[in-house]
Amino acid sequence: MDANEIQAMDDQLIIEDVARAVEENEFVPFVQPVFELATNKVIATETLVRWTLPEDGTVVPAGAFVPSLERTHTICGLDWCMAEAMCEFLGTTECDAAKVSAGLNISFQHVEDKNFAQRLAATADWHKVAHELVGIELSAEAIRQDERVTGHLIPSLLDAGFIVMVDNFDAGVEELRAVANMGIKVVKLAASVWRDGSAEQIRLIVDAAKELKMTLAAENVENDEERAAVAEAGIPVAQGYGLAHPMSLEDFVALVEG
């Protein structure tokens, strides 16, 4: 048996386990807050999937199962599970935490579904959730990979009133302007840019974002020193362990309401 055959067997076992876990509601959304640095106010969240085993409460990291689901084109079902859970939270929670926009990470494979935006709209409407409270995070790489992302997926999401965000943006001003021309107003700046880029490169991106009336957020801010550096660079929004770790929805409500 070669490595590919072993991988295929492992993938199949994971798929079967995931299917059972979805049926038994073992996947739950965690969220990582996104902060406006000037006010320390939570203005958005990023939704992350967690798999908690019922036997002993062990949390299985996403890296242990998501790659298999991506390889076997079965990841979209889990994405919809998280979308449903977050829309239910936003629609049934009567506090300020439910007024914060929730960003959903979705697989590039949803580009195959021409009705994705309509299905998401139906899910939000079922739970009586305003579309502007639901964000879709698309990686900069995914936007570059396939013209269907820019030609159909992004326009259909924006037309439906959803927020579209570029995740892990690692380019410069020219590409930022191209993103703005798509109608996207929220860009998450990769740490490789704000942490490792030159001061001039960062200044140009920050100035362009202001000119284009885009919200620029720094990703992966890990400590107080990095938080101060991001603020000093003029990046107004940030997320990362230096501000808040991913947390359960219950803990997120306590954070916002506290």
Q: What are phi and psi of 196, to 5 degrees?
A: -110, -15
pLDDT in tens, the chain (258 residues): 434 543 555 667 777 777 787 778 888 899 999 999 999 999 999 999 988 888 887 887 788 888 888 888 888 888 999 999 999 999 999 889 889 999 999 988 899 999 999 999 999 999 999 999 999 999 998 898 889 999 999 999 999 999 999 999 999 999 999 999 999 999 999 999 999 989 999 999 999 999 999 999 999 999 999 999 999 999 999 999 999 999 999 999 999 987
Question: 102: part of which helix (H) or strand (E)?
Answer: strand 101-105
> What pLDDT sits at residue 2?
37
Beta-bridged to residue 47, according to DSSP, are 31, 104
Q: How far apart, in whole angstroms, are the C-alpha atoms of residue 70 and residue 85?
A: 21
> What pLDDT sits at residue 199?
92
Beta-bridged to residue 29, according to DSSP, are 49
pTM: 0.89
CB contact at 8 A, 170 and 190: yes
DSSP state of 153: I
DSSP letters spanning 36-89:
ETTTTEEEEEEEEEEEE-TTT-PEEPGGGTHHHHHHTT-HHHHHHHHHHHHHHH
Cα end-to-end span (Å), the chain: 56
> What pLDDT sits at residue 37?
97
Q: What is the dihedral of CA 197, 199, 201, 207, to 10 degrees?
A: 130
Please say whether the dihedral angle defined by the alpha carbons of residues 193, 197, 199 and 200, taken in this order, is positive or negative: negative
- For domain 3-257, give its CATH number from 3.20.20.450, 3.40.50.720, 3.60.150.10, 3.90.1310.10: 3.20.20.450
Question: 210: part of which helix (H) or strand (E)?
Answer: helix 199-211
Burial of 232 (0-12, 13-18, 19+ CB in 10 A): exposed
**What are the boundaries of each domain within the chain?**
3-257
